[in-house]
Structure 1
Amino acid sequence: MDALNTEDNGYEDYYNSEELEEFGVCKKTHVKEFSRVFLPVFYSITCALSIITNFTLLTLFIKYKTLRKVLPLHMVISDILFTLSLPFWAVYASSEWIFGDQICKAVSLVYMVSLYSSNLFVASLSLQRFMDMACVVSTTSIFNNPKRNTVMCVLVWLFSILAAAAHISFVGTQKFHEAFICTYHFNDNIGWKIYTRFQMNIIGFVVPFLVLLFCSIRLSCVAEVKRTFTVFRHETGFTLGFFLIWFPYSVVIFLHTLQDLHIFYACTINIHFDFAIHVTECIAFMHVFINPVLFVFLNKKVWRRLRNACKTPREYLLEESNNSTVMSSQEGAIELKAVQRYQAHDLSMSGEQPNNFLPELM
């Protein structure tokens, strides 16, 4: 868990260089100064942006029943839960862990569950669209759309909690160099340490990305011709956004796994890894506000509702008036064409049927 950083070497979860620092072999003063200044600012900005974007989307779901879908709603809830952990990490990065052991475990649990569930819900949204378009499901089946999506939500939450349990069992507080830290304590159990690394990579990135990639390719094949571009744009946007956010972070986690296996052990490489985990973690944390932004801009119906909600009453009435004028002009053109058709027909028939009734306009 990247946010569980130590006072002395930044991220004990990803590298074990305490012995080197104690003997003065590998000093990380620049890394510590960077993290104490940069991380609190970044977490605070990310928290603010997340609150704005997620609560805006949540308001749209509450206000408009037609937008209220199960999977997007749970994705927003997951991102909001993740946001609740950011103020704790901001305080922790600036000084030390001051909230106690139980809060350490609770915040870590919320952090891991919401991280896993958010990525899985993004993948579930693509899977839902693929199943809706590619599968013909009976309305009487237990796996019709509402029940199926509810089952998917329950499975995502349960799976995320079970995956987080492996992490939380090793998390706790302790005093390190006169400061309290909230971090992992594997007690030299390298097997569990590597397991949590691979679990983070597989569940947090590989599985969701493969689902997104599969759905983005298959949906463009099964979609109707007129909807192919819209579907392709929507799926490609989410897939590309997910990849750009999470791939660098996953690569760094994998490299830290190699470091745990003593393939990399030089001090210079260790310091580079420290900076890399800070930067890539921050990029990954941006998912908490990028997810709702992508959902709004790639969904025409949601974007239209948001745009109308942001307009003043005068602008809204003016647009409605313009739309009405356009509709009236179209209706007038249709009526004019109908009259012209009738007059032409009447002239052609007047010599034979002078007293006929008006013809039925088709």
Structure 2
Amino acid sequence: MEDADYPQGFNKITHEQDTSDDALSWLHTLFLPIAFSVTCVLGLIGNVLVILVFVFYEKIKTLTDSFFVILAIADILFLLTFPFLAYESAHAWDFGDALCKVIRGTYRVNFFTSMLTLTCITFDRFISITKVTKAAKYHVSKHKCRYGMCAVLWSLALLLALPQFIYSKSHHQEQCFEEYNPPIMEIVVVSLQMTVGFLLPLASMIICYSFILQTLVNARGVQKKKSMKIIVAIVVVFIATQLPYNALVLALALNKELASNTVFKTTSIVMEVIAYVHACLNPVLYFFVGTKFRKHFWRMLKVLGVNWRQDETTDHLRTTDGDSRNVSASTNICATSV
């Protein structure tokens, strides 16, 4: 059939639709499986090393050490779901309802655990740096209840992620996603999760770090500028990786018509990968920012028979409360803001 037989503009629309479908197909069959696989391998290696360092070298002596281990465990649990996500992207969901609930819920548990843990670390640094007169009493009391605090943190994260465990199910053995009934329930759930699990903790972190930065500006010490960079880096990395994707999730809950928009679907896929990649970024931050962590890492390699000579003459990363009480305010914030 000749082109003139088609309505005007039909060929152009069809070509654009075919191009968009090809792009989405490439993202699902190639980009997502590769991204999930690489992130899974690197993330598992990095987070296992983090746990080994804190368990066998730091001995989990402080509350902050416990928080770092929680972050690593949460990331490992989430990373274990990546092989299933990679398979689903390349083929279809063939694992049933039960595993669908686990996979969908694990991301939310990881997200809320990370956010709440970072908030706890922020509050810990806020008290230690800006409330010097109360810091000594606070350090004594927090050691007595650190296991209780960790239990409460995990419980709250599981509670916030409960809707994903309840409403997720496989559809025609091809896809795994949440299905809310009535539909208004999705708006309520997503809005509540974003408010309680992200926006409120984020606001608390911003307020606390504002006072911390103000204290550091007025403090003296060679590590002042470095400490401020560490704080900004941690907050920016988490927000940059998580906020775009979760904003798109909220937008889709408010307007289901976006699900048929090719640009929205493509953007969502890319933002989802960026959000998931965060699971392997914490070990990178520890390594490049924490001198003490690098020392333990080289020692571990030496024990394993890998001799890699490294000269670390200074220790800018302190994670024990004993150290943080004996250094300046600027060094204190460097202590546990990784």
Q: TM-score when scaled to structure 1? A: 0.69
Structure 2 SS opposite 1:286? helix
CA displacement, residues 281-321 of structure 1 (integer Å, 9 cap, x when unaligned): 111111101122213333332233224444665847xx69x
Q: CA deviation at 1:241?
A: 1.2
**Paired residues of 1:116 and 1:160 also in contact (CA < 8 A):** yes
**Aligned with residue 193 of structure 1, among 186, 193, 203:** 186
Q: CA deviation at 1:74?
A: 0.7
For the pair 1:210 / 2:203, whether they are aligned, the reply is yes
**Paired residues of 1:58 and 1:73 also in contact (CA < 8 A):** yes
**Paired residues of 1:78 and 1:117 also in contact (CA < 8 A):** yes
Structure 2 SS opposite 1:51? helix
* Shift in CA distance, 59/131, structure 1 to aligned 2, threshold 3 Å: same
For the pair 1:114 / 2:107, whether they are aligned, the reply is no
For the pair 1:180 / 2:177, whether they are aligned, the reply is no
CA displacement, residues 46-72 of structure 1 (integer Å, 9 cap, x when unaligned): 101101211111111122135651111
Q: TM-score when scaled to structure 2? A: 0.74
For the pair 1:169 / 2:188, whether they are aligned, the reply is no
Structure 2 SS opposite 1:288? helix
1:342 alignment counterpart: none
**Aligned with residue 290 of structure 2, among 279, 290, 299:** 299
**Paired residues of 1:216 and 1:232 also in contact (CA < 8 A):** no
CA distance in 2, matches of 1:134, 1:306: 32
1:240 alignment counterpart: 236
1:70 alignment counterpart: 66
Matches within 5 A, 1:1-362: 29-30=21-22, 31-65=24-58, 69-135=65-131, 136-137=133-134, 144-175=141-172, 179-187=173-181, 189-223=182-216, 224-226=219-221, 227-260=223-256, 270-310=261-301, 315=309
* Shift in CA distance, 293/99, structure 1 to aligned 2, threshold 3 Å: same
Unaligned stretches of 5+ residues in structure 2: 1-16, 315-338
Structure 2 SS opposite 1:144? helix
Aligned length: 286
Choose 1 or 2 for highest CA Rg.
Answer: 1
CA distance in 2, matches of 1:299, 1:218: 23
**Paired residues of 1:296 and 1:302 also in contact (CA < 8 A):** yes
Structure 2 SS opposite 1:173? strand
* Shift in CA distance, 36/52, structure 1 to aligned 2, threshold 3 Å: same
Q: CA deviation at 1:272?
A: 0.8
**Paired residues of 1:116 and 1:203 also in contact (CA < 8 A):** no
Which amino acid is the alignment partner of residue 268 of structure 2?
I
CA displacement, residues 69-126 of structure 1 (integer Å, 9 cap, x when unaligned): 1111111111111111111111111112222222222333333212221222223222
CA distance in 1, matches of 2:53, 2:235: 24
Unaligned stretches of 5+ residues in structure 1: 1-25, 324-362
CA distance in 1, matches of 2:176, 2:253: 21
* Shift in CA distance, 293/142, structure 1 to aligned 2, threshold 3 Å: closer
State percent identity of aligned pairs.
Answer: 22
2:6 alignment counterpart: none
Q: CA deviation at 1:246?
A: 1.8
RMSD: 3.0
Q: CA deviation at 1:143?
A: 6.9
Which amino acid is the alignment partner of residue 179 of structure 2?
H
CA distance in 1, matches of 2:79, 2:124: 25
